[in-house]
Amino acid sequence: MSAMNIWGNYPNYQDIARLEYGHMLWNSAARSRLLAHWLDPEHPYAEKFRSKRPLVEMILESSLPDEQLDKQLKPEGHSLRSLMREIPPVFGSILFYRVALLA
């Protein structure tokens, strides 16, 4: 299976970027800040993140290539393409608003 098969005929590059940036930030010192941000009751995706947290953490922690991760998710009724949309956004949200208030 090629990477293009995972994303389908019409890949959503914003979702793909969310996964890539999510991996980079998750595997750095920013993990605790991301969790605090995503679990903040004021974050618009906080409730959604809480409901999908184990799956989101699993895909962000995975070191498997996208194709293998997608294969691993299929028996559970998920796909990497659909789960990418469960990763809450970081940029342009309340994280930066709060930092500006503290400055």
| Residue 4 in this model has a pLDDT that exceeds 80 | no
Paired tokens of 21: 């940036």
Paired tokens of 34: 């991301």
12-52: pLDDT as tens digits: 888 888 888 888 889 888 898 889 888 988 888 899 999 99
95 C-beta neighbours (distance < 10 Å), count:
18
Interhelix angle for 94-102 vs 31-39, to 10°? 100
- Residue type at 14? Q
Interhelix angle for 13-26 vs 31-39, to 10°? 120
